[in-house]
Structure 1
Amino acid sequence: MFELSNRLRLLITALILVPFLLYWGFTSTPQEASSNISELTGKIDYYVDNANTREWDETGTLTRTMTSAKIEHDPQAELNYLTSPKSISFRSNDSEIQITSDKGITRDDNSRTDLAGNVIVHDNPSSESGTKLLTEQLTIYPQKDFAETDKPVTISSTSGNLKGIGMDLHFEKQVLNLHSNVKGIYHEVD
């Protein structure tokens, strides 16, 4: 009977200690846990695949749509990383501006968007008189309705082609300034 008691005591002790030892062996120390949290700083906290957003003005009029194959948010930097973004802005004169690129970065406060890789700005893409602007980098300030680049720019329309280096563009005013090395070809329109 004495042997059975010892075996029973040993079995009960093992049943109590094994889960505790397993838990202790598989979890980290408080110092390791705090270092894991500090490693997460500057990391993506969420992402969205096949994102589709819409913006309206204060009267309820749709002003912009944006699609992106992927959006990743970095809370530390307050930035959104865009993959293959496409934006369509709807203007008060019923025109549209479509902007596409390979990638982009927007700030959380929407004060600035940086686009890179095959940036195309297409004014009135559905009309015959549409104008297309091509560059490798473009910075857009949505709240100012303004964009700029210091990279080479190519502009093509039914009336001709322009090339230059550096540019600023006021969307609402429809004013575009090429900064240097401007070359152009004009096609007479009937």
Structure 2
Amino acid sequence: MLSARIRLFIAALLLGPILLYWGLGIAPSEHRTEPPRALQEGEDYFATDAHTRVFNMKGQLEQELISPRLDHYPDQQISALSTPHIVLYREDGTVTTTDSNKGTLPDDRSKALLTGDVRVNDRSTTGIETRVLTEKLTLYPDTKFAETDLPVTILSDNVRYDAVGMKASFEEQTLNLLSNVQGKHENEK
């Protein structure tokens, strides 16, 4: 009887480390390593045909974001957007749309950085449409404000302005051109 207990004890001593190895997945000589940096900075989710809406406190539609693909990167706390289309609605019923080739949007949605063939269309209550063309634009959707320090072209009715740098408030319908401003007006025929 005593020898059976000793055999059982010896078997437990021999099998114990093996069972622990299988149970924990690591050998005593191994150590866990962090995943490669590229995996840590990778996307944690993506969405195709993304369409988000933001409503104000009165329940009225205030913003829309449409993008064929949205990739979220948790380490950077941003979403990368492909060909984003952003619509800003004002209380007076007018609409401003912004399109670009690419964009990034932080998790707090405070600003959108739009790059590549950026086009802004703004229609005032008088019916006059203003288009802004540039290669990079920072858009603050909550305040309906936009700015760039790159060359910009503004087209409105029969007027064209070219400048370097711009600050625009779509809510107040103001546009400030920062430097090298040139304008051209064509009379209607």
Question: Does the pair score TM above 0.5?
Answer: yes
Q: What's 2:100 paired with?
A: 101
2:71–2:79 Cα contact (<8 Å) kept: yes
TM-score, normalisation: structure 1: 0.78
Deviations 1:106-142 (A, max 9, x none): 11001121000000000129x9621110000001122
1:169 correspondence with 2:168: yes
1:158–1:189 Cα contact (<8 Å) kept: no
Q: What's 1:183 paired with?
A: 182
Determine the C-alpha separation between the residues in 2 that align with 1:85 and 1:41.
26
Deviations 1:34-91 (A, max 9, x none): 4337653211000001111111111110111111011000111110100000011111
- The correspondence of residues 33-182 of structure 1 with structure 2, limited to 5 A, is 34-36=33-35, 39-124=38-123, 129-182=128-181
Deviations 1:15-49 (A, max 9, x none): xxxxx9xxx8xx887646x4337653211000001
Give runs of ≥4 in structure 1 deviating > 3 Å. Answer: 27-32, 187-190
CA shift in 2, pair 1:181/1:174, >3 Å: same
Determine the C-alpha separation between the residues in 1 that align with 2:97 and 2:69.
18
Determine the C-alpha separation between the residues in 2 that align with 1:144 and 1:116.
20
Q: What's 1:4 paired with?
A: none
2:90 partner letter: R
2:55 partner letter: W
Q: What's 1:6 paired with?
A: none
Determine the C-alpha separation between the residues in 1 that align with 2:90 and 2:167.
19
Structure 2 unaligned blocks of 5 or more? 1-17
2:173 partner letter: Q
Deviations 1:124-178 (A, max 9, x none): 29x9621110000001122332211010000111131111000111111111100
Looking at secondary structure, tell me which structure has more helix per residue.
1
TM-score, normalisation: structure 2: 0.78
RMSD of Structure 2 on Structure 1 (CA): 2.6
Q: Which deviates more, 179-188 or 150-159? A: 179-188
SS across alignment from 1:66: strand
CA shift in 2, pair 1:28/1:87, >3 Å: farther
Determine the C-alpha separation between the residues in 1 that align with 2:139 and 2:79.
14
